[in-house]
Every structure is written in structure tokens, then in C-alpha cells.
């Protein structure tokens, strides 16, 4: 059974942290109805481009020592034409035998973080403390479970507790292109929790989680973007969810006459989610994802061009993605919302 790590009594941020222009802009969306607003959340500059949830449970099991430990993980990715390195140290989680076992954050932790960020756009749930440069969310286990269930990802109490402990216990270091570290902290730098006995008495008892500094920086500098979170969460593949977020954040000029160009190699490198031994298997996995995005009206279609090397072997594949009109509409709304954020007029956006 998953157990909570012993942590300090939850301390709710000051009232001023739940107000202010920057937070209001983060929580406001360009939409027409409450139903539309319910489907929206934010992608975050740089943070959502890092391959930080890219290890499957199967690969974790293979990499663990007989004592249950995992080594530090290193990956590289390209962001705005610069190469970055990320180092991930796993969390040590209590197991059922009374020992400890290492876990990297994976797909389960990713959707938990996405759900927490969605909860944070609700008034009096998210906070942004400018003087302390901290942001985060106040939530209950019931609220988080219901949010996940609503988006098609039902999780047990134990699964959520373990996921939160992994997020709070895993350390991530991001290195700049010059090799110097510029962000070293845990995925959730602070997590204050109540005990399970208290949760049984009061399912609405509060937890307080602080987001990674890159999320805080994005809120401060308004570099996040509105996107269709509900649709993203409906994708069955982690890679489909990753690609949907990447397109939502980067494909700002989306139009039926302006396709998006991307390669198999760049997706493999930047997502960390194509780990097949044979390139044909990576291709099959990616194209199944593209078909799912077409079915979900993110893409209208795609074309591809093989890049072949010695003995006519495929070295890479260039993909040209055509957006669906629904996705183009979402991007145009996100662009307008971001423009409003730079010169806020609260009458034009919906809290």
C-alpha cells in the first residue's frame, strides 16, 4: 500500500498569492461558454518540451538493480535550436515489504501533473507568490481523483499517492547549451500532505503542491499558451499527448495552407518515447499516433518523405503535418488570448 512521506503540516499561501494580474491571466481563457472553459488549460514554455516522463514501467523494471535502485538518467533534447541536457534522479518510494524502490516519473506522473495544473486555473485553487517567486496549487485527493476520472484516467488512492510522492521525490537538473546548470530541483519542489487517516475523516482535506520554477517563470513572463487539455487527455498514447502539446505550443501559425514539418529523428530525440530497436517499429508507433490525432481532429492528414542512406536503408523520415480546422481554430484563440495577456483587458477573457 502506498504511504505518504512524512512532510510538514500544509501551509496555505497568503491571500495575496491567490490574486493579482499574473495569476488572473494564467487562469483566464478566451472562450464563449463554461463548457469550453472546462476543456482548456495551459502549455508551459520549455518545461513541456523536456523529455522528463519518458521511461516506461517495463524499462524501469529492466534497469533496476536487484536491490531495487535505478541510476541517474540523462537525455538530450533540442529547444529553439539549442541543445539541452536533462539529468533525472529517481525518487525512492517505500515498497510493500518495508524497503525502498526507485521510480522515475512516467506517464502516470505526467497526467497527475497535467491535472494539477488544470486545477490551478480554478479561482482560489492556484497561487502565484511574486515576492517569493513560487507558484502552485491547493487541492484535495477527492478533487484530483475526480479531475483525472473526468478526463478518462481513473486512478486509485494508492496510485495517486505514489504518483505525488514520485513527483515530489524525483530530482531534475536542466543544463544550458554551454553545459552550465540553470535549474536543479524536484518536479514538485514542495508537497505538503495530510495523513491517510485524516483523509478518511475529511476527503476534502487540503494538500499544497509547488510547481517547478519553470512553470512559475512561465506564469510570470506570460509564455504559456491556451490549449485543448480535455482533448489532449483523451488520447490513448503518451506520445500522442506529447505531440498534441508540442503542436499547441509551437505551431502558432497553424493554417490549412501552412503545414508543420517535423522529422522522425527529432520526435525520437525530443520526446524520448520512441525507443524501439528497429526503425520500422518506431515508424509504426509514430504513424499510429498520427492516425489517432487525425481521428481526434488535431490533424487533417500528413505526408512523408524517406531519407535513405547506405544500401537504401531508411535513416530518417520527414513528416509534413496538415492541421484540422478545429485545431486551427484552437490556435487562433490561443494567439489572441496571448496578445490580450500582453495588454490585458479583463472584459475580453473569461475567468
Q: What is the pLDDT of residues 195-224, one digit of tens each?
A: 555 545 555 678 999 999 999 999 999 999
User: Is 349 inside any structural domain?
Assistant: no
Q: Would you say residue 109 lies in a domain?
A: yes
The mean pLDDT of 172-188, rounded to a whole number, is 86
Same domain, yes or no: 303 and 200: no
Gap between the Cα atoms of 7 and 10, Å rounded: 8
Same domain (yes/no): 145, 122: yes
Residue 347 is assigned to a structural domain of this protein: no
Give domain status of residue 256, yes or no. Answer: yes
Same domain? For 304 and 222 the reply is no
- The whole-number pLDDT of residue 263 equals 98
Report d(CA 244, CA 118) in Å as an integer.
16
Residues 99, 192, single domain; the answer is: yes
Residues 209 and 60 placed together within one structural domain of the fold: yes
Q: Are residues 268 and 205 in the same domain?
A: no
What is the grid cell recorded at 26? 494564467
Q: Domain check: are 156 and 124 in the same one?
A: yes
Cell numbers standing for residue 209? 503542491
- 225 and 239 in a single domain? The answer is no
**Span 235-281, pLDDT tens digits:** 999 999 999 999 999 999 999 999 999 999 999 999 999 999 899 99
DSSP assignment, residue 177? T
Helix axis angle, 107-119 to 141-150, nearest 10°: 110
Residue 312's pLDDT band (cuts 50, 70, 90): confident
Neighbours of 342 (CB within 10 A): 8
Q: Read off the DSSP letter of residue 5.
A: P
Residue 62: its pLDDT value, please? Answer: 93
Number of other CB atoms surrounding residue 290 within 10 Å: 19
Identify the pLDDT of residue 198: 56
Q: 157-177, pLDDT tens digit by residue?
A: 999 999 999 999 999 999 987
User: Which class for 311: exposed (0-12), middle (13-18), buried (19 or more C-beta within 10 A)?
Assistant: exposed
- Domain membership flag for residue 290: yes
> Is the predicted pLDDT of residue 17 greater than 70, yes or no?
yes
Of the three residues 229, 248, 268, the one that is the final residue of a domain is 229
Give the domain-ending residue among 229, 257, 274: 229
Per-residue HEC secondary structure of 107-166 comes to: HHHHHHHHHHHHHCCCCCCEEEECCCCEEEEEECHHHHHHHHHHCCCCCCHHHHHHHHHH
In a domain, 350, yes or no: no
Evaluate whether residue 351 is within a structural domain.
no
Is residue 53 within 8 A of residue 80, CB to CB? The reply is no
Cell readout for 241 is: 499527448
Q: How far apart are CA 150 and CA 160, in angstroms?
A: 15
Number of domains in the chain: 2
**How many residues are given for the chain?**
351
Whether residue 224 sits in one domain with residue 326: no
Does this model's pTM top 0.95?
no
Q: What is the mean pLDDT of the chain?
A: 91
Domain membership of residue 293 as a residue range: 235-342
Residue bearing cell 513527483: 167
Last residue in a domain, options 163, 195, 229: 229
Q: 60-93: buried (b, 16+ CB within 10 Å) or exposed (e) per residue?
A: beeebeeeeebeebebebeeeeeebebebbbbbb
Same domain for 313 and 196, yes or no, is no
Residues 225 and 268 in one domain: no
What are phi and psi for residue 71, nearest 5 degrees?
-80, 170
Assigned C-alpha cell, 235: 488520447
Same-domain status, 59 and 158: yes
Is 52 part of a structural domain of the chain? yes
- Say which CATH number the domain at 243 has: 1.10.10.10
Amino acid at each position: 500500500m502506498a504511504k505518504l512521506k512524512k512532510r510538514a503540516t500544509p501551509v496555505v499561501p497568503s491571500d495575496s498569492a491567490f490574486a493579482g494580474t499574473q495569476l488572473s491571466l494564467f487562469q483566464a481563457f478566451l472562450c464563449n461558454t463554461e463548457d469550453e472553459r472546462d476543456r482548456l488549460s495551459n502549455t508551459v514554455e520549455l518545461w513541456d518540451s523536456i523529455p522528463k516522463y519518458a521511461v516506461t514501467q517495463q524499462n524501469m523494471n529492466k534497469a533496476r538493480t536487484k536491490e531495487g535502485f535505478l541510476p541517474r538518467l540523462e537525455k538530450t533534447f533540442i529547444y529553439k535550436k539549442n541543445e539541452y541536457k536533462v539529468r533525472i534522479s529517481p525518487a525512492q518510494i517505500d515498497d510493500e515489504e518495508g524497503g525502498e524502490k526507485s521510480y522515475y516519473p512516467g506517464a502516470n506522473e505526467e497526467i497527475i501533473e497535467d491535472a494539477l495544473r488544470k486545477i490551478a486555473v480554478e479561482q482560489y485553487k492556484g497561487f502565484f507568490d511574486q515576492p517569493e517567486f513560487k507558484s502552485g496549487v491547493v487541492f484535495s485527493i477527492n478533487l484530483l481523483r475526480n479531475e483525472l476520472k473526468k478526463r478518462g484516467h481513473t486512478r486509485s488512492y494508492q496510485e495517486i499517492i505514489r504518483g505525488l510522492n514520485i513527483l515530489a521525490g524525483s530530482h531534475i537538473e536542466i543544463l544550458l547549451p554551454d553545459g552550465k546548470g540553470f535549474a536543479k530541483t524536484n518536479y514538485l519542489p514542495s508537497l505538503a500532505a495530510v495523513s491517510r487517516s485524516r483523509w478518511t475523516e475529511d476527503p476534502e482535506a487540503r494538500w499544497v503542491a509547488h510547481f517547478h520554477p519553470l512553470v512559475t517563470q512561465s506564469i510570470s513572463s506570460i509564455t504559456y499558451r491556451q490549449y485543448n487539455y480535455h482533448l489532449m487527455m483523451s488520447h490513448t498514447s503518451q506520445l500522442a499527448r506529447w505531440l498534441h502539446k508540442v503542436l499547441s505550443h509551437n505551431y502558432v501559425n497553424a493554417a490549412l495552407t501552412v503545414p508543420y514539418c517535423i522529422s522522425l529523428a527529432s520526435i525520437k530525440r525530443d520526446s524520448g518515447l520512441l525507443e524501439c530497436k528497429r526503425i520500422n517499429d518506431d515508424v509504426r508507433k509514430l504513424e499510429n499516433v498520427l492516425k489517432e490525432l487525425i481521428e481526434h481532429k488535431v490533424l487533417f492528414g500528413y505526408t512523408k518523405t524517406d531519407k535513405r542512406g547506405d544500401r537504401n536503408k531508411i535513416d530518417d523520415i520527414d513528416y509534413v503535418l496538415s492541421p484540422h480546422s478545429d485545431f486551427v481554430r484552437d490556435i487562433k484563440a490561443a494567439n489572441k488570448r496571448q496578445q490580450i495577456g500582453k495588454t490585458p483587458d479583463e472584459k475580453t477573457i473569461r475567468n
